[in-house]
Structure 1
């Protein structure tokens, strides 16, 4: 059924509310302004889409017979164990906060799972060890700092993790007994975003990484006996490293690196002389990641080819290609070999698969589906497949107009259809053709075309492209959306008069910026946890994030850069917005503080313009709890229904 009849009464009520003084309403954990009540009939219509679930691979059990997955049956994602293909999803964690990943301690003792959990979306993660048989968990971190990257040694006897205080830029890396990590010792304590990357096979060294930006990172080896730190592959060149693993003898590393390449490649680095051997040469796309068998003999790596994932398998020593699974067009979010190296688990999602785990048997060369997640009773074959679209933008590359690409989900029928432009966050990220129940709902129930653009600054298109929006080039990415609006105007199936822009995090900033720049060409905007002022954002974001973000956006401590950032900030230009806005925020957001939303709300309203507002007191950087996600979706449908006139 269409939603138009359902929402008409609610839209009329919203118009009346707007005419009067807007009141702030609190219901449970939700704080709203100008958001009408959701009609019961609309709630019923959305139920199917709100009850779509997916599953993602987390780990194999130590005996290799079962897999650990994350999926949701109640309000949040939790860890479950699956013992056979399409078997029972046995829930292991039961928390009000999400637990989205975990790993087994790799030994033959009692099954123990390492996982992390925050509170209310504050991302102040604490690490826990859970006895799988008893279901009891023990927190082994300090309860105050932000802890991440928990890593076991191959035999499970050691564990390492990073720790940083919320308002500090100084990271620690700690190492402890993997079976009883009660008395950790600090092996590194200094400024920078430092994380453990893995123990050497003999447990004498710890590989650590320092991240400066998406384009710059460093690797070091710490001798766990002497504390000596040695840089891997020292170079004057700026290099970005992805995931990394030791070779069997500990004398070389397998690592994803963009050294001397436009794209990230899989290479082997000899630790004695830093010589390199390319293992994924000839592929002009990024290697997103890889896994290696415990015996270090076989590697599976995943490439990102125009947003679509592809799996390759090679012999680790020679680099020779091995048989790989033939998979449908999809996006892979995780992969892992079984302990004996005979099976490879893959998390797979596409437009018609909400997210499931498949297993490739290397000997039988057989692919088996292990989970089949429910999609609210909807026939998956009815979900709309996206098409890759492109349009010329304002500048040139190689003497030709630069092309920007994106994925378009188009309703049936000739149109012209209203359009929702959804811009990804990051900005060092990429929109890929994975599954979104919300996108499918908008296409089917509202008849909207949905376009997911990958503007300059997106990953997946080479390191030159990802740098095209840095610092003073920030507004060039906004111009890419202006070029998209030009392209929309030429498409008979799209209605250029009913275009809404939306986005989350950096995409939320983009939504604001597009609204201030192209207000007369848009019907409305939606900003979720978006930056409204770069200077206040950089001043107020958590301390451990400041330097990472300054590399991308510019250093607000420089008076000239601060002036530039103020000039281009949406808050400075809020007076240009004369179309409705919907602002969504989590109160506990450590990345984009809630004050970014509050100040933009105040500025737009001071100009006498219409703005809807929703904030969850138990969420952070986006809504993770199903009840809050449902409320956001319902309000978004009401907002879109009003602004596109359905």
Structure 2
């Protein structure tokens, strides 16, 4: 799904509602160079724009009830579902999106995390459904993330950059008295509390330096005394990634996922007395996405990423053997969590023909329950295209995986136009799930969608992940060139009608592809993308800068700066010889709006058609439905005009 916003320059186009055209541009949007959207196009899109999702956030109040986030108005809000298939009762009513929620242990309250205008300065709120009220626990202005409840529910820990807007220090508060908030640990960098010890006397914390390097610590809650558990990287000891750190139920061990001595993150048990680590998933040749332990510590449920597809594995801790679990379609699983005092776990699931919904599985009875059944705008999802996994050779012989969604050959005979959709990250991965409104391109326009996982993508091992680092950055762009070669050899695809789209880092990839292969493309769409690594690193928020330097390189190093100058799309904008659509959020803290402004100005100066959209109330992507809907109308009009040649 590619919904975001774009940038606008001084000259603005006010699009008014006239006969045959859609309603005016939302007040939140500034559009430049964008034609009027035909009313018929907007109406044909409406069904695809009205699907809903439900994301599992946690079990509520020690009862068999679940908290979910879903949208009934303009943004995702918290809802309570008290029985499988039951009604969704809305709990929060904010103008901005709610990112997540977690029930307060042993209380009938929950915490939720909310955005403010897309700027990602997330705030923490404690909601009391019985009182019908909520109170803010954070300062109202800084960034607050990764909140973790103590087991008693009497303390809450989180990370915040309140001290200097850069470093993510660790804080603790008694939610009964927000004024009791105190800094547990002042840090240099990005830290988070991962889990509380069973007795609530210590926490396990993770220092995150990059997707390839992180460290685990134990911190005394009263004194702040910190003990390093994992060794520092050195010339003799390569960097290791640790994630999803949990205490065992008896407090004698830690569980985590780690790529130590492996290409993939494996589930590991670390004995605190002997300081030894035991790998629990050595027989699974794929990475572990997440896991949870049952209350009695006897069972672990985990999800793996197997060539982009999620699989659930259920481990018996005593024997190490696997137990039977739910049968799943090819898709994605997230948010696995056991219900307290039971052997039932819940999770979110999405697949090509099913929007994201909430399910649970009871190990005792071996039965599954479906908690939500989200709407798909009246469309029959059974007709939607399912992904085909392909591999194609790149310039150096490396095999690149990609997922291909093809329209019906009966309804759309002959070679089909192609849209290449490049994921962000760059340490991301396209994984097949419900495409939502993007299904319109396949089902109504007959466009084949290709989602490549170029070198540097996660999910294929840490060696593959590092193949685009530093001076190798453009090797991933060459992977798109090789994909164009593959398309040219496919009888069902039309190599004369190919476009490219990307969000965030994918926006950089789309722009870079346009600078290298304009002669083989009809147009490109850049959504909140990087146009110049130097200005991006100089202007991204301080709490992100060092993390991004770890991936891209340090622009203060003259050698790295020279590479950035050579490869940045802004420096090569004169090579873009096809139309461009750029979308941006004004409040984006990750990729500042200036990145879009400068590429729009430069490409327009070269004489190419440029459509631009700036959303004044959004950040790194479009979260509000009215903005999403308008952007999609413009995207489809752009593709109809330049990819399909159906000019209005």
TM > 0.5: yes
User: Which residue is 1:483 aligned to?
Assistant: 482
SS of 1:100's partner is strand
Q: Where does structure 2 lack aligned partners over 5 or more consecutive residues?
A: 1-9, 15-24
Q: Report the CA distance between 1:470 and its aligned residue.
A: 0.6
Match of 2:165 among 147, 156, 168: 168
Superposed CA deviations along residues 425-470 of structure 1, whole A, max 9, x for unmatched, are: 0011110111112331100111100001100110000000000001
User: Which residue is 1:447 aligned to?
Assistant: 446
Asked whether 1:363 is paired with 2:364, we answer yes
CA distance in 2, matches of 1:486, 1:196: 47
Asked whether 1:158 is paired with 2:155, we answer yes
Preserved CA contact (<8 Å) 1:64 1:340: no
Asked whether 1:342 is paired with 2:339, we answer no
User: Which residue is 1:8 aligned to?
Assistant: none
Superposed CA deviations along residues 359-383 of structure 1, whole A, max 9, x for unmatched, are: 1011110112111000001111111
SS of 2:506's partner is helix
CA distance in 1, matches of 2:525, 2:93: 33
User: Which residue is 1:572 aligned to?
Assistant: 571
Asked whether 1:402 is paired with 2:398, we answer yes
Preserved CA contact (<8 Å) 2:26 2:627: no
Preserved CA contact (<8 Å) 2:586 2:618: yes
Single out whichever of 326-335 and 526-535 deviates more from structure 2. 326-335
Q: Report the CA distance between 1:178 and its aligned residue.
A: 4.1
Preserved CA contact (<8 Å) 1:242 1:256: yes
Single out whichever of 269-278 and 595-604 deviates more from structure 2. 269-278
SS of 1:211's partner is strand
Superposed CA deviations along residues 90-115 of structure 1, whole A, max 9, x for unmatched, are: 111111111131011011x3x11101
User: Which residue is 1:639 aligned to?
Assistant: 638
CA distance in 1, matches of 2:97, 2:422: 25
Superposed CA deviations along residues 476-496 of structure 1, whole A, max 9, x for unmatched, are: 000000000000000011110
Q: Report the CA distance between 1:342 and its aligned residue.
A: 2.2
CA distance in 2, matches of 1:174, 1:192: 14
Preserved CA contact (<8 Å) 2:353 2:386: yes
Superposed CA deviations along residues 387-423 of structure 1, whole A, max 9, x for unmatched, are: 111100011xxxxx21101110101124211100000
For residues 504-523 of structure 1, the aligned pairs below 5 Å read 504-523=503-522
> Aligned residues, how many?
619
Q: Report the CA distance between 1:171 and its aligned residue.
A: 2.1
Moved over 6 A (4+): none
Match of 1:193 among 186, 190, 193: 190
SS of 1:536's partner is helix
Q: Where does structure 1 lack aligned partners over 5 or more consecutive residues?
A: 1-20, 396-400
Q: Report the CA distance between 1:27 and its aligned residue.
A: 4.9
CA distance in 2, matches of 1:424, 1:166: 33
User: Which residue is 1:138 aligned to?
Assistant: 135
Q: What TM-score do the two structures reach when normalised by structure 1?
A: 0.94
CA distance in 2, matches of 1:214, 1:279: 22
CA distance in 2, matches of 1:310, 1:366: 17
Q: Report the CA distance between 1:322 and its aligned residue.
A: 2.1
Superposed CA deviations along residues 280-315 of structure 1, whole A, max 9, x for unmatched, are: 111111101111123333210000001000001112
User: Which residue is 1:15 aligned to?
Assistant: none
Q: Report the CA distance between 1:157 and its aligned residue.
A: 1.6
User: Which residue is 2:228 aligned to?
Assistant: 231
Superposed CA deviations along residues 33-83 of structure 1, whole A, max 9, x for unmatched, are: 111222222121111000011111000012232111111111001111111
User: Which residue is 2:21 aligned to?
Assistant: none
Q: What TM-score do the two structures reach when normalised by structure 2?
A: 0.94
Single out whichever of 625-634 and 234-243 deviates more from structure 2. 234-243
Asked whether 1:208 is paired with 2:209, we answer no
Superposed CA deviations along residues 484-534 of structure 1, whole A, max 9, x for unmatched, are: 000000001111011000000000000000000111000000000000000
Preserved CA contact (<8 Å) 1:420 1:450: yes
1:180–1:321 Cα change, 3 Å: farther
1:350–1:167 Cα change, 3 Å: farther
SS of 1:363's partner is coil
Preserved CA contact (<8 Å) 1:164 1:172: yes
User: Which residue is 2:407 aligned to?
Assistant: 411
SS of 2:180's partner is coil
Preserved CA contact (<8 Å) 1:166 1:542: no
Preserved CA contact (<8 Å) 1:62 1:339: no
